[in-house]
Structures are given as C-alpha cells and as structure tokens.
Amino acid sequence: MKWNVIIPLLLFMAVVFCAGVWSNRKTDETKGFISSYFIGNRDFGGLLLAMTMVATYGSASSFLGGPGAAYSIGLGWVLLAMIQVVTGYFVLLVLGKKFAIVARRYHAVTLVVFF
C-alpha cells in the first residue's frame, strides 16, 4: 500500500467533507437559498429568459451535432434551427405565464415539482 498517495487523498476528502458540512450549515441559516439561487427570487424578466434560451440552444447546437447536420443536410437545417428558437419564444408567450402562476402557487423551483 502506498501511504504517500493514500494519506493526501484522505486529507483532501476530509477537507472537502468539512467544507460541505460548513456550507450546509450556512445555507440552512439563510431562508430561501434554493429559491434565490435557482430562480433568482423570481425577479428576472423575459429578456434574461430570452438570453438564457439563446445561450442554451447555441451551446447545445454547436456541441451536439448541429455542425455535422448542417454539413450533411445543408442550409435547410440551419434555417430549421433558426425557426426553433423563435418557436421557443412563442411557446413561452403562451405557456410561460401559466407556468409562472402555478409555480408560485406550489412554490415550485423546477419543472419536476409539477409531476
């Protein structure tokens, strides 16, 4: 057994465990930490949501097959991808307010709470 490897590893794990216990106690002291962290106390507007959607779609499309599909299928794929972003905004216009009302009523932080 190599103690020069195991001892630093155990020390590191102990430090990480202590940091986790300390941060858990700190977050328990502040009420609503989860709500403020995940949904920003529900203070953000539609512009931030729109920027988040574009960033999410842009990163997912650029890393998960968008360039390959555009190369093999052609310009039609790029136009289809542009339409998907606009369609997402229309869906949020129709369903977004309803989801927000229900989420406030049930104090939901994620969509999993609805199911």
Tokens in use for 48?
Answer: 């931030």
pLDDT of residue 32 exceeding 80, the answer is: no
**Closest alpha carbon to 54 in 9, 14, 88, 20:** 88
CA distance 48 to 82: 19
pLDDT of residue 30 exceeding 70, the answer is: no
pTM above 0.85, yes or no: no
Q: pLDDT tens digits, residue range 87-100?
A: 888 888 888 888 88
Q: Give the pLDDT of residue 80.
A: 81
